[in-house]
Amino acid sequence: MSAGSSGSLHDMSEINATEPDLVDVTAATTAVIRGVVGMADMVSFFDGSFGTVASVLAEQEVPVAGAAFALFHGRPTDRADLEVGFVTDGAVRPQDDVRSGELPGGRVARLVHVGGYDQLGSSWDRLGSWIAGRGLTPGGELWEVYVTEPSPDMDPADLRTELNWLLAT
């Protein structure tokens, strides 16, 4: 779960057990690398960026305070304007494309995606429909928190990704 949230993760025992919910989150300090990336280059951007951010945090002795995440500035199309990194217990000094950032605070529509990353788009669509169906207005920032750290030998069905969509006030 992302730092600063007042909501809780739902029971993950069944794929369809997750339902969207509204939660209030507190802004959180982050260490990130920002980029505008084509969808074909997303995996290499994530892999390289998470490794670089982790190395800089270790070198600067800045504690990680949450799971890896990706913050999108607007809904991705064929390209995504995003920041990837970690919530931290303090600010990082700029180094090797890594800079301090912030996950926004406020009212968020959230659901937990269960399964592989290749199905994230359908979960985002589901969350967007849920927001619209309640007469709410989505804001411009949305983020994914990678609750389950992926590994090469894991079953993608075991992945949990928290989807958060900031609502306009």
Q: pTM here? A: 0.87
List, edge to edge, every strand of the sheet that includes 64-73. 21-25, 106-114, 160-167, 138-146, 64-73, 79-88, 28-38, 99-103
For residue range 110-157, what is the model confidence (pLDDT) as tens digits? 999 999 988 999 999 999 999 999 999 999 999 999 999 877 788 888
Domains, the chain, ordered by start: 23-167 (3.20.80.10)
- pLDDT score of 150: 78
What mean pLDDT is predicted for residues 1-21? 47
Confidence of residue 17 (pLDDT cuts 50, 70, 90): very low
CB atoms within 10 A of CB 13: 7
> Of all helices (H) and strands (E), which one includes residue 76?
none
Is a pLDDT exceeding 90 seen at residue 2? Answer: no
- pLDDT score of 154: 84
Confidence of residue 41 (pLDDT cuts 50, 70, 90): very high
Confidence of residue 22 (pLDDT cuts 50, 70, 90): very high
Separation CA 161–CA 143 (nearest Å): 10
Q: Which residues contact 61 (CB under 8 A, 6 or more apart)?
A: none
Is a pLDDT exceeding 90 seen at residue 91? Answer: yes
What mean pLDDT is predicted for residues 30-53? 96
Is a pLDDT exceeding 70 seen at residue 169? Answer: yes
What mean pLDDT is predicted for residues 12-40? 83
- pLDDT score of 151: 77
What mean pLDDT is predicted for residues 2-30? 63
Of the candidates 166, 164, 155, 154, which has an alpha carbon nearest to the alpha carbon of residue 66? 164
Check residues 39 and 1 and name the one with the higher pLDDT. Answer: 39
- pLDDT score of 92: 97
> Of all helices (H) and strands (E), which one includes residue 122?
helix 120-133
